């Protein structure tokens, strides 16, 4: 892809997210801010890191998020730290705040927006490399820029933005590795991405098993040597090892903060488990896929049902058309499809396990990277399944629909202020 295309794509994606940052205010009367899921805790932790303080739970933090690896909040901490140098424009506050402790929240959100823009560019680059087509890269980039839920997680302080970004690095690494023959070249980027995934939310771990199996198969097949694999592994360990060791030290032996999270759920927080929720299975089946696309806030602010239904129709039809060409596709494409299907299944199973045995949270954003990859496949995959005219018309129609949904998303966020 040309540098000019990437710049315009980044500017477009950032504009959508900046408007959403402004449109979603904090609750003006309270320090516990819940216009977006758990933003109070996310912002507080990012603000602590930005001011050189180390939040820990429960010793010096009211939120369990203080125990997670700080990489999840590095971008938000970096942007909110700019307020110490006077970068805190008044226009970014849609409503006047009345609690001084939340001063700077729009700048913290900017970190999520920048991660979102980076994710858009990574997916565009990966699609271009994988397909050998700049048009495919641009269309997938536009899809990611317009994808409603990706806009939303780029508009408030959260840990999902970094998790999806890290997964996108793995995707780009795999695309470059495959197109270079699944050999020695490209393994280091996969190692870096996998290390960042490990420091993100566990909802992102679903892509790691299939990635590991693919790499092991390539090694067993003699496509690359042990030295190349060791080099990628060492680079990955250099990225995540020191921080995870430090996090284990401050958490009493818990590098990811997950044991502490278990204590939190069991003691400090009363989990809404499935056995006390009527029709839990049906609720999950509806909210999980719909909130992966266009349900915002605390899964209580949806796009209109016809748009959600049409999004599902586009996705299913696109995937069916794309899968119809797998029999004649090159072996690398079939391996890529197997990697995607396996990653989706594992991620969905992780989400189900979390909902049934830890806390009933049917949040589709927990599987957002998988849904983005499925949508990319449904957008561009059908190009090879029909006539050239259809191959050009399908992605255009899909992107027009996504543009409608993105505009509607901005309108919903603007017209439903949490005040």
Q: pLDDT per residue over 241-274, tens digit each?
A: 999 999 999 999 999 999 998 888 877 555 556 6
Closest CA to 298 of 38, 113, 21: 38
Ramachandran class of 200: left when φ > 0, alpha when ψ lies in -120 to 50, beta otherwise: beta
Judged against a pLDDT cut of 90, whether residue 198 lies above it is answered with yes
pLDDT grade, residue 416 (50/70/90)?
confident
pLDDT at res. 419: 54
pLDDT at res. 373: 98
pLDDT at res. 270: 58
Q: Which helix (H) or strand (E) holds 94?
A: none
Beta bridge partners of 295: 302
CB-CB contact of 9 with 124 (8 Å): yes
Percent of the chain clearing pLDDT 90 (strictly above):
73
Residue 359, classified by CB atoms within 10 Å of its CB into exposed (0-12), middle (13-18) or buried (19+), is: middle
Which pair of structure tokens corresponds to residue 257? Answer: 């903060």
Residue 54 DSSP code: -
CB contact set of 419 (below 8 Å; sequence gap of 6+): 25, 27, 28, 29, 95
pLDDT at res. 31: 46
Distance between CA atoms of residues 361 and 353, nearest Å: 10
Q: Per residue, what are the HEC states of 252-304?
A: CCCCCCHHHHHHHHHHHCCCCCHHHCCCHHHHHHHHHHHHHHCEECCCCEECC
Instruction: State mean pLDDT over 24-31.
Output: 56
Other Cβ atoms less than 10 A from the Cβ of 331: the count is: 8
Please write the tens of the pLDDT for every residue from 320-361. Answer: 999 988 888 899 999 999 999 999 999 999 999 888 877 788
Please write the tens of the pLDDT for every residue from 356-382. Answer: 877 788 899 999 999 999 999 999 988
Closest CA to 211 of 181, 179, 227, 189: 189
Distance between CA atoms of residues 106 and 85, nearest Å: 15
The mean pLDDT value of the chain amounts to 91
CB-CB contact of 307 with 405 (8 Å): yes
Distance between CA atoms of residues 26 and 393, nearest Å: 41
pLDDT at res. 32: 46
Judged against a pLDDT cut of 80, whether residue 205 lies above it is answered with yes
Angle of the 208-220 helix axis to the 226-250 helix axis, nearest 10: 150
Angle of the 305-323 helix axis to the 368-380 helix axis, nearest 10: 60
């Amino acid at each position: 892809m040309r540098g000019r295309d990437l710049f315009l794509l980044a500017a477009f994606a950032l504009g959508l997210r900046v408007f959403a940052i402004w449109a979603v205010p904090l609750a003006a009367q309270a320090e516990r801010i819940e216009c977006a899921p758990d933003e109070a805790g996310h912002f507080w932790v990012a603000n602590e890191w930005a001011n050189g303080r180390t939040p820990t739970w429960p010793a010096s933090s009211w939120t369990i998020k203080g125990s997670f690896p700080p990489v999840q909040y590095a971008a938000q901490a970096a942007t909110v730290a700019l307020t110490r140098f006077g970068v805190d424009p008044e226009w970014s506050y849609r409503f006047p705040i009345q609690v001084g402790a939340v001063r700077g929240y729009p700048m913290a959100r900017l970190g999520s927006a920048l991660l979102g823009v980076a994710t858009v560019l990574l997916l565009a680059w990966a699609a271009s490399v994988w397909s050998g087509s700049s048009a495919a890269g641009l269309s997938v980039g536009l899809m990611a820029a317009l994808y409603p839920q990706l806009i939303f997680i780029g508009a408030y302080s959260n840990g999902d933005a970094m998790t999806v970004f890290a997964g996108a690095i793995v995707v780009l690494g795999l695309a470059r590795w495959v197109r270079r023959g699944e050999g020695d070249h490209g393994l280091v980027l996969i190692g870096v991405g996998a290390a960042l995934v490990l420091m993100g939310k566990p909802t992102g771990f679903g892509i790691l098993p299939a990635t590991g199996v693919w790499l092991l198969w390539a090694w067993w097949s003699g496509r690359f040597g042990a030295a190349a694999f060791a080099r990628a592994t060492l680079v990955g360990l250099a990225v995540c090892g020191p921080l995870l060791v430090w996090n284990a030290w401050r958490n009493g032996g818990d590098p990811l903060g997950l044991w502490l999270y278990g204590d939190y759920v069991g003691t400090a927080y009363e989990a809404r488990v499935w056995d006390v929720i009527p029709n839990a299975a049906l609720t999950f089946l509806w909210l999980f896929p719909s909130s992966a696309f266009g349900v915002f806030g605390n899964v209580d602010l949806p796009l209109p049902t016809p748009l959600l239904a049409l999004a599902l129709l586009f996705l299913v039809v696109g995937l069916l058309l794309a899968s119809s060409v797998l029999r004649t596709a090159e072996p690398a494409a079939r391996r890529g499809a197997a990697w995607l299907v396996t990653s989706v299944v594992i991620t969905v199973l992780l989400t189900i396990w979390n909902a049934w045995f830890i806390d009933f949270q049917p949040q589709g954003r927990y599987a957002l990277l998988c849904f983005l990859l499925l949508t990319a496949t449904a957008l561009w995959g059908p190009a090879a399944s029909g006539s050239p005219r259809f191959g050009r018309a399908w992605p255009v129609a899909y992107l027009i629909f996504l543009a409608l949904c993105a505009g509607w998303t901005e309108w919903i966020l603007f017209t439903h202020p949490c005040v």
